Structure 1
């Protein structure tokens, strides 16, 4: 009890400027928190409290990384996270930059946020996962954000390949996806600009979306979504403008093989001289059953960065996300931008290490940039593969400014979109940029996917579109015509002669007649989904599957697998997609539409009794109209609800809206929010 009071006292003393009575949290009928206060810091305090009320457990999983405490709750897997924080020097870069590069306004914001976290933990000690993890501080919090942005950059996948001695893993049929669309008034029937916010994230966990509305008297008035533990909106809309993100795949991470001294395993050659690897002993604590075991592990560092020694050699990893701690501050400035000029100035920070960004505003500006913090690299090296780590020519030290990156402002075609495909197919064909005009060492993707092809099929049908047609494009659930674009060539699946295979004839006929729609009633979609999972497993045994052409024998084997699978689990082969694929929340289980790489993408894992559970895909959806006069018109929906607590009325109250592809009306109007709020209170 004494410790509880001490934590509460310390939190209040460190952040005495935050008075919870000055903060109002208004919960609407869906449980979405609308947070009102005089200052941004107070609003951030209220956001921390509201998010903690709904999902404190998930928030802590991210925050614990900043304190090196994940291993105390997640055992060996958690200790790996703690080790990676040390390996990537996330804390060191925070210590070095915190007082030098962060603005006073942003520091005040995260001080308010951390104060809200500490106050909630002090008030609810029974919800704290790891003893001694609170109070936390702003540098620990910032350390966790550096790690998060590093993981988003793809460093985790690179490290896994190195630790596994470069075992090639399958980039399977379930590649994650997101969609973003902006349409200017020249393309709309009502003269408004439109924006579709449609990121495809895991439906639960540390990177699942949480919706909130932030409103201060310092110019903050924005509604949108963030990840649990985020102090600002990551995708959303304010009174003047809105934006969304999709993951992009330019070259964000470089791997270097060091030339080691055969007589000294801690020395590597650089520009003809032997250099010594820096060593740091990392003290980890690992939960093992009822006990916590202390473990020591060495973290190595070269001129290139984090270094790992394996039987195959010694490798260093270099990337931008652990060299700049201002990523969340950039989002904060995007939140507060009042026009395109201010938004573009925020983007010029290039502190967010990746993400396509698509934007629209009330002044009829639409914009797209394939954003990234991308280094200037020396030409003449294969930057997509392992690089020589023995020469200063490969040691990059500076980054491209925003103006160097592929971007579009108000194309004549009147629309912009991205679906995780090449930035060189973002609008009408005559207005697209050319890959050859950009620095090739940046490694931008040049391929399309099923969603991007389908988007162009649909946009080409319209001279102008209404908001209802805009919604139909966003909610389209059909694979494109012609050749499908999956990691392996699936053409043969649709070319078999049913009469030649009597045992699987009905399945072949069903797939051949499939309209490529992925609604819950579709039987063809059910066959195709089981096949995708089959090929993911079978081709995953091969080292390379990119451009693999599925043979007739492989196709027949896949149909026979489907035949056996459906009979074994469902007792028949004419099941629909909704029989197979389920959206699950607690004890609630409902049929779900969607397949990988349709616009309404869904990605699944085995569930029970042969059924598949949706775990990623369509998540937070925002559909925005910017009329020429007045506030933006906003419609949103979450896949489940605001709360992760099964006893909350908002645990799954948006699920039916989501599955019926409908939305809820939202507003930035403070008076309207307070008038209709179901609960208004202060965070204390």
Structure 2
């Protein structure tokens, strides 16, 4: 894919300025080119195209002020790059499809994101295929002038920082600044990055399947003739399939989700509602959040967070509205089984008529072990539904054969409204306007929305975005045997017969795009007490007012929708505040109380089950363990594990995961294993939809062998880890910055933590470090609207910068560790009065 490395104007500036090591001559040249060299911006002789003021307050949070949206994007990109250049440059390579060129074909992406950690070669073909020039042209054509202005400014701001860095590198970004892949960008790079965010709950989960979807070889290749001639498996064969699903990054992996609670004025006891928002998200990589405020007087004044490389605020607040998001249970994609024309595996039949697939030849440059770069080509294919997908990676019986193939459709591929929606929200003047925008655009791609607004007594929950419009009759008549085989692994995902137009996704009278459910049939709830979501379905957004009657593709409901332990605790926390039963004073959701209760690090499974479990787990001084139910390791001979110390520690443990709590890791290791037991074997009282936040309950202890095996294996893991059974939580759970461990609190949702810090690292492999590819609390905000303005308290848990040389690499993390919420300046008076204020003007 051709792309221009820099505009003609940029190349001229680069030639003029030379970008040589600093000298008086270079400093003079920088002034002539409008550069500030990290010292200050010189005025140019002509009116600058882009200009902005970057005002950093405590912990480095930038407050970008500009005269127009181009300038806002310019300053925003400059600040993002100044703090996270290496991550951003690396991500632009990903979306450009150039990873293999620099890092080889088989290396995996270093940081996990919504695309997981695929091989470079698969990532490259996937992104070249879906983020093609044709796809970008459609996306760009649909953007309003405001978005185009912000993208243009953002591109210029990123390039400006790169030029300034080359002129005066200092000790910044030593990990990447000299690499050949750290180059200037074009607006297309930003549009690719923006568009890729659409696919987090759809195509991105099937990256390798799409990147490797090629037709069977010609029959002349005798070695594979059998596979070419293989026809589709029978219904009996399909029913027996074992499906190896890809890891679903959004909503399918522990820790990736979110908590959000919106309190109405009946709960706050004041004239202002209150929002608590807390995405559990990636701490590293391209989807890492970045916090900032953007101000264009008279047009825009918004504060919050966005993904790196995106020029609008995705979660945050303005003067009148605050919102957050949680991952939705609605399915946004589906599959179509194609019946192929005889003798042509790239032609399929629609109502008996042949339709030719669109061939998409793609060539990717690949660095070899020798250092030489060679081209590798594949021809991938598209249909009217979407790209072809290689489901043989799920099971060989689902491969592309001479008679059958599979296409995938993700509604967000045609959703060009997404960033227009968010920018309109950035400017919204009331909650009513915010809700109207959400219904008009129906664009939010794979998340729920929780919002509150000044002057409105109620809090808003909605799952209004692109969702496939499939009827119950279609599900019954159009689902193929392959779809039935996949139903257990991918519930509620339509897997239809693509040979019949009767199986196409339908339209409502108010559908905003083809094949999508209209907003009038999507769930929304306004309450003056509270609404909340912790990644279970729309149904349970307030247990006192369960929502029913919505299409099943949106998520389970009622008897089919048992809540996660995290969701149960979230509602217990939210409702406990109103009942006055949570141990804090009064029964109102005040800012000060919410700040404490959402970081209390309670462990619901310990609160519910520890007292009942300990007598059977600690019936003797030791347990003989034959296997580990978590790792499936078999011990031969069996291991005798002394549980005396572990039992003593758990008995004294206060059932929390705070930094100083002793015993949390022992319980976590136990419950992670115990939770693998079937619910009927684990609880005396099963789930009851009429009492959803209190069931299932009552741990079964009459047949304790399985629980004892889980506990013995857990204690063995702890003893082998090098961490004492009574080690403080902050010793076992931590983030490392510049070689220094910062103790953390919380845990994983499986154990029933509401405060999430979920490491993928095993305890016996160095502890629950948040340094690799963890997920957990990320951009956190508590926002209310007093008469005096906006009151916002925030955390960016992993800190603002990925650069160890930055002063903003660890400071926010230390504040989070100490639970010191940051009162975020928002008004001009607050920003000007901040004791850590540093101001810098840039222009070109």
Give the TM-score range, shorter chain: 0.7 to 0.9
C-alpha deviation, 1:423, in angstroms: 1.4
Question: Is the alpha carbon distance of 1:262 and 1:64 closer, same or farther for their aligned partners in structure 2, counting shifts above 3 Å?
Answer: same
The Cα shift of 1:331 comes to: 1.0
| Separation in 2, partners of 1:180, 1:606 | 26
* Residues 1:440 and 2:552 are matched in the alignment: yes
Greater mean alpha carbon deviation, residues 381-390 or residues 662-671: 381-390
C-alpha separation in 1, matches of 2:163 and 2:275:
41
Q: Is the 8 A contact 1:422 1:447 kept in 2?
A: no
Is 1:104 the counterpart of 2:263 in the alignment? no
Please tell me whether the aligned partners of residues 202 and 410 of structure 2 are also in contact (alpha carbons under 8 angstroms).
Answer: no
Structure 1 residue 650, shift from structure 2 partner: 1.3
Matches within 5 A, 1:144-163: 144-150=193-199, 152-160=200-208
Does the C-alpha gap of structure 1 residues 49 and 68 become closer, same or farther in structure 2, counting only changes over 3 Å? same
Deviations 1:281-319 (A, max 9, x none): 111122344343321112111222110343422321111
Q: What is the TM-score normalised by the length of structure 1?
A: 0.88
- Alignment partner, residue 527 of structure 1: 666
Question: Which residue matches 2:221?
Answer: none
Task: Give the 3-state SS of the residue equivalent to 1:344 in structure 2.
Answer: helix
TM-score by length of 2: 0.72
- 1:237 maps to which residue? 317
Q: Deviations over 1:369-414 (max 9, x none)?
A: 11321122233315436332322233224322333211112x24x1
Distance 2:262 2:335 in 1: 36
Deviation at 1:357, TM superposition (A): 0.7
Q: Which of 229, 233, 248 is the equivalent residue of 2:328?
A: 248
Distance 1:278 1:644, change over 3 A: same
| Larger displacement relative to structure 2 (86-95 or 204-213) | 86-95
Q: Deviations over 1:228-286 (max 9, x none)?
A: 11101111111111111111111112122322346332232322233332211111122
Q: Deviations over 1:70-90 (max 9, x none)?
A: 333443323322211233355
Q: String of CA shifts for 1:523-581, please: whole Å, max 9, x gaps.
A: 44211322456679xx7xxxxx8868578554333323223322223274333433322
- Written as runs of structure 1 = structure 2, the 5 A alignment for 1:545-560 is 549=681, 552-560=704-712
Change (3 A) 1:665 1:4: same
Q: 1:254 to 1:483 in 2, by over 3 A?
A: farther
1:342 is displaced (CA, Å) by: 2.7
CA distance in 2, matches of 1:246, 1:447: 18
Preserved contact between residue 498 and residue 509 of structure 1 (Cα < 8 Å): no
Deviation of residue 166 (structure 1)?
A: 4.0
Preserved CA contact (<8 Å) 1:86 1:299 = no
Say whether residues 1:405 and 2:522 are aligned partners.
yes
| 1:421 alignment partner, SS class | coil
- Residues 313-356 of structure 1, C-alpha deviations (whole Å, 9 max, x = no match): 23211111111223222111110111123322331212231211
Distance 1:204 1:132, change over 3 A: closer
Contact 1:85 1:91 in 2 (8 A): no
Is residue 538 of structure 2 the alignment partner of residue 451 of structure 1?
A: no
Match of 2:244 in 1: 167
CA distance in 1, matches of 2:723, 2:184: 56
Pairing 1:392–2:440 present: no
Distance in 1 separating the partners of 2:257 and 2:724: 32
- CA–CA separation in structure 2 for the residues paired with 1:650 and 1:97: 35
Q: How much does 1:18 deviate?
A: 8.4
Offset of residue 521 of structure 1: 3.6
User: Which stretch of structure 1 is more off in the superposition, 475-484 or 523-532?
Assistant: 475-484
| Deviation (angstroms), 1:195 | 0.9
The answer to whether the aligner puts 1:670 opposite 2:828 as a matched pair is: yes
Measure, in 1, the Cα distance between the counterparts of 2:678 and 2:352: 39
User: Which position in structure 1 is the counterpart of 2:192?
Assistant: 143
> Is 1:81 the counterpart of 2:123 in the alignment?
yes
Secondary structure, counterpart of 1:334 in structure 2: helix
Cα distance in 1, alignment partners of residues 707 and 13 from structure 2: 63
**Aligned to 1:258, what secondary structure does the other structure show?**
strand
Which residue, 437, 441, 452 being the options, matches 1:360?
Answer: 452
Residues 1:124 and 1:72: Cα distance change in structure 2 (over 3 Å): farther
CA separation in 1, counterparts of 2:707 and 2:9? 63
2:745 matches 1:593: yes
Aligned pairs for 1:282-321 (under 5 A) are 282-289=362-369, 290-309=371-390, 310=392, 311=396, 312-313=398-399, 314-321=405-412
**Which of 604-613 and 165-174 deviates more?**
165-174
Contact 1:181 1:417 in 2 (8 A): yes
For 1:422-501, what aligned pairs fall within 5 Å after superposition? Answer: 422-427=537-542, 429=544, 431-434=545-548, 437-443=549-555, 446-461=561-576, 462-463=578-579, 464-465=587-588, 466-480=590-604, 496-500=616-620
CA distance in 1, matches of 2:680, 2:727: 29
Give deviations 1:169-192, integer Å, cap 9, x for gaps. Answer: 678882423111111222113443
CA-to-aligned-CA distance 1:175-222 (integer Å, 9 cap, x gap): 423111111222113443211121111122212221101111242111
Deviations 1:44-76 (A, max 9, x none): 111011111000111223333443323334433
Q: Secondary structure at the match of 2:441?
A: coil
Name the SS of the counterpart of 1:52 in structure 2: helix
Deviation at 1:477, TM superposition (A): 1.8
1:542 — aligned with what? Answer: none
Change (3 A) 1:50 1:468: same
Question: How far 1:500 moved relative to its partner?
Answer: 4.8
Task: Name the larger-Rg structure.
Answer: 2
Secondary structure of 2:444 counterpart: coil
Q: Report the alpha carbon displacement of residue 134 of structure 1 after superposing the two structures with TM.
A: 4.6
**Residue pair 2:746, 2:756 contacting (<8 A) in 1 also:** yes
Does the aligned pair in 1 maintain the 2:659–2:743 contact within 8 Å? Answer: yes
Contact 1:7-1:122 at 8 Å conserved across structures? no
Say if 1:494 and 1:281 are closer, same or farther in 2 by CA, change over 3 A. Answer: farther
Q: Distance in 2 between matches of 1:83 and 1:492?
A: 54
Say if 1:212 and 1:224, in contact at 8 Å, map to a contact too.
yes
Distance 1:563 1:391, change over 3 A: same
Instruction: Say what the alpha-carbon RMSD is for the aligned residues.
Output: 3.4
| SS in structure 2 at match of 1:116 | helix
1:8-47 to structure 2, matched below 5 A, reads 8-9=10-11, 19=48, 22-47=51-76
Q: What secondary structure is seen at the aligned counterpart in 2 of 1:283? A: strand
Distance 1:117 1:419 in 2: 35
2:193 touches 2:310 (CA, 8 Å); kept in 1? no
User: Do the aligned partners of residues 253 and 514 (structure 1) sit closer, same or farther apart at CA in structure 2, a change above 3 Å counting?
Assistant: farther
**What is aligned with 1:637?**
795
Maintained 8 Å contact 2:674/2:707: no
Find the residue that maps to 1:47 and give its secondary structure: helix
1-side partners of 2:796 and 2:606: how far apart?
Answer: 33
> Deviations along 1:455-478, whole A, 9 cap, x unmatched?
322333325413222223322322
| Range with greater deviation from structure 2 (158-167 or 131-140) | 158-167
Partner of 1:653: 811
How many aligned residue pairs are there? Answer: 662
Q: Which residue of 1 aligns with 2:227?
A: none
Q: What is the distance in 1 between the residues matched to 2:209 and 2:378? A: 19
Specify the SS of the correspondent of 2:539.
coil
Deviation, 1:161, is 6.8
User: What secondary structure is seen at the aligned counterpart in 2 of 1:375?
Assistant: coil
User: Relative to structure 2, which stretch is displaced further, 165-174 or 201-210?
Assistant: 165-174
How far residue 622 of structure 1 moved from its aligned partner, in angstroms, is 1.0
